[in-house]
């Protein structure tokens, strides 16, 4: 049980790694901001990552994501893959010949955020985009894990990549494209996040689609949505053409809460989601755009889900939305799992906000406590 350093309230729903409560984050953000910044500074020091988004008065600007880093001479950008070398932006990874990446094969249907509406898990879009009028048993997903991120989530489920040096074991886009096998029906880029290495992912995607010779091969993404709009447009066209989907993880709606949990703003994410929602109407089946939110106990409550769902519904109420159960991890390993009550309240809030396609994911992780 931790105590909020602002109001003094103690609760098992306050993490020691972020010792301020949700009410204080919402009502007194400027007051609690120093504690939030210290939490993210501490989360990054051990991994040699910049402790905040660099905004040097004199430096090189990186435009790959919404952080818009301005990197001082000899230092790195927030994701750790860009460096200012003698006044020029140097890519430690993420270009076509140098991806800090690993991959594996997942039998379909798999535990994907979109499995309930995507071709691989549901047969949506059959026969143009799916091999079967139902789950694609016998097929596989090529799961591509990019080892960098533009966010700093204190509850990251895949934080272990942070300890790896960027130039160790990089792989080319050609190597990745060659990993596609006869029974590969889709490729999903995740991480970390694909955002800092989109040039690599886009190059590999173009190669595999050029070689597919008429076969079904979907290009999918799971992302925090913080990339530059131009990169998102390229991603969207590849997914639109191939029958794939783009899964946006909407961490929070309130910018202050996003800063508290993830260390950076969510403005670019919400702008990109709004743009993509318009494009998604061009191919409603299978859905191009899918949203999800992790139900972090004590921080992502019914009110926050209602705001996120209202935002989505204002764009298109048929956009699928998954509410994901939280499992204690990384620096927020002192929080409990999402309770069944919490999940059901969030589900009801999303429906009341106007969304037509909502579900609770990872139900096996739900707790009967709280």
Give residue 143's pLDDT.
Answer: 98
**Residue ranges with strand state E in the chain:** 2-3, 10-11, 60-61, 70-71, 82-85, 88-91, 101-107, 140-146, 184-191, 218-223, 246-249, 289-295, 321-325, 358-361
Q: Is the pLDDT of residue 113 over 60?
A: yes
The residues pairing with 83 across neighbouring beta strands, listed in sequence order, are 76, 90
Q: Is the pLDDT of residue 17 over 70?
A: yes
Give residue 306's pLDDT.
Answer: 98
Q: Is the separation of the CB atoms in 361 and 323 below 8 Å?
A: yes
Residues 257 and 312 in one domain: yes
Closest CA to 268 of 2, 7, 66: 66
| Buried b or exposed e, range 104-139, using 16+ CB within 10 angstroms | eebebbbebbbbbbbbbbbbbbbeebbbbeebbeeb
Residues 286 and 332 in one domain: yes
Residues 27 and 146 in one domain: no
Residue for token pair 């009410």: 23
Residues 136 and 268 in one domain: yes
Model confidence band, residue 97 (pLDDT cutoffs 50, 70, 90): confident
Q: CA of 251: how far to CAs of 9, 68, 301, in Å?
A: 24, 19, 12
**Which is it for strands 2-3 and 10-11: parallel, antiparallel or unpaired?**
antiparallel
Residues 68 and 136 in one domain: no
Structural domain range at position 316: 101-365
Model confidence band, residue 283 (pLDDT cutoffs 50, 70, 90): very high
> Per-residue DSSP letters for 289-350?
EEEEEEE-TTTS-HHHHHHHHHHHHHH-TTS-EEEEEP---GGGTTSPPPBHHHHHHHHHHH
Residues 124 and 214 in one domain: yes
Least confident range from 135-149, 165-179, 223-237, 281-295: namely 165-179
Give residue 370's pLDDT.
Answer: 57
Q: Is the separation of the CB atoms in 226 and 65 below 8 Å?
A: yes
Last residue within a domain, chosen from 12, 30, 46: 46
For residue 89, which phi and psi values (nearest 5 degrees)?
-80, 120
The residues pairing with 118 across neighbouring beta strands, listed in sequence order, are none
User: Bigger pLDDT: 123 or 164?
Assistant: 123
Q: Is the separation of the CB atoms in 37 and 44 below 8 Å?
A: no
List, for residues 137-181, the tens digit of each pLDDT value.
999 999 999 999 999 999 999 999 887 766 667 899 999 999 999
**How many separate domains does the chain show?**
3
For residue 349, which phi and psi values (nearest 5 degrees)?
-65, -40
Residues 29 and 136 in one domain: no
Residues 236 and 267 in one domain: yes
Give the other-Cβ count within 10 Å of 74's Cβ.
9
Model confidence band, residue 95 (pLDDT cutoffs 50, 70, 90): confident
Largest CA distance in the chain: 63
Give residue 23's pLDDT.
Answer: 98
And the tokens for 333? 């390993």
Q: Is the separation of the CB atoms in 31 and 58 below 8 Å?
A: no
Does 312 fall in a domain?
yes
Does 370 fall in a domain?
no
Q: CA of 335: how far to CAs of 40, 239, 303, in Å?
A: 17, 36, 19
Give residue 369's pLDDT.
Answer: 75
Residue 347 to residue 361: CA distance in whole angstroms: 11
Does 277 fall in a domain?
yes
Does 76 fall in a domain?
yes
Last residue within a domain, chosen from 15, 31, 46: 46
* pLDDT mean over 309-336: 98
Residue 1 to residue 146: CA distance in whole angstroms: 34
Residues 218 and 325 in one domain: yes
**Which is it for strands 140-146 and 101-107: parallel, antiparallel or unpaired?**
antiparallel
Residues 127 and 195 in one domain: yes
The structure's pTM equals 0.96
Closest CA to 361 of 67, 111, 191: 111
* pLDDT mean over 96-115: 93
Residues 208 and 118 in one domain: yes
Residues 221 and 348 in one domain: yes
Give residue 166's pLDDT.
Answer: 60
Sign of CA dihedral 66, 72, 73, 76: negative
Q: Is the separation of the CB atoms in 228 and 184 below 8 Å?
A: no
């Amino acid at each position: 049980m931790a105590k909020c350093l602002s109001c003094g309230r103690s609760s098992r729903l306050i993490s020691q790694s972020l010792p301020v409560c949700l009410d204080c984050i919402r009502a007194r953000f400027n007051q609690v901001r120093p504690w939030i910044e210290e939490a993210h500074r501490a989360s990054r020091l051990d991994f040699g990552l910049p402790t905040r988004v660099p905004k040097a008065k004199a430096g090189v600007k990186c435009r790959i994501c919404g952080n818009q880093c301005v990197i001082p001479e000899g230092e790195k950008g927030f994701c750790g893959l860009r460096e200012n070398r003698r006044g020029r932006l140097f890519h430690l990874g993420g270009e076509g010949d140098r991806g800090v990446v690993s991959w594996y094969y997942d039998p379909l249907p798999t535990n994907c955020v979109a499995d309930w509406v995507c071709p691989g898990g549901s047969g949506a879009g059959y026969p143009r985009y799916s091999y079967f009028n139902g789950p694609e048993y016998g097929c596989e997903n090529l799961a591509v894990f990019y080892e960098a991120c533009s966010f700093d989530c204190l509850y990251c489920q895949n934080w272990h990549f942070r300890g790896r040096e960027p130039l160790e074991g990089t792989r080319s886009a050609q190597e990745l494209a060659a990993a596609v096998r006869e029974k590969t029906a889709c490729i999903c880029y995740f991480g970390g996040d694909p955002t800092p290495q989109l040039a690599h992912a886009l190059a590999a995607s173009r190669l595999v689609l050029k070689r597919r010779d008429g076969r079904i091969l979907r290009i999918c993404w799971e992302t925090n949505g913080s990339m530059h709009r131009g990169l998102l447009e390229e991603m969207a066209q590849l997914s639109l053409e191939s029958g794939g989907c783009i899964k946006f993880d909407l961490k929070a709606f309130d910018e202050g809460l996003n800063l508290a949990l993830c260390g950076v703003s969510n403005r670019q994410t919400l702008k990109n989601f709004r743009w993509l929602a318009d494009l998604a109407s061009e191919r409603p089946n299978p859905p191009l755009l899918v949203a999800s939110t992790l139900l972090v106990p004590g921080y992502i409550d019914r009110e926050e889900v209602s705001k996120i769902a209202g935002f989505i519904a204002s764009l298109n109420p048929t956009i699928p939305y998954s509410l994901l159960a939280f499992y204690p991890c990384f620096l927020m390993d002192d929080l409990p799992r999402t309770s069944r009550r919490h999940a059901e309240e969030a589900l009801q809030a999303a429906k009341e906000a106007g969304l037509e396609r909502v579900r609770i994911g990872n139900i096996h992780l739900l707790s009967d406590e709280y």
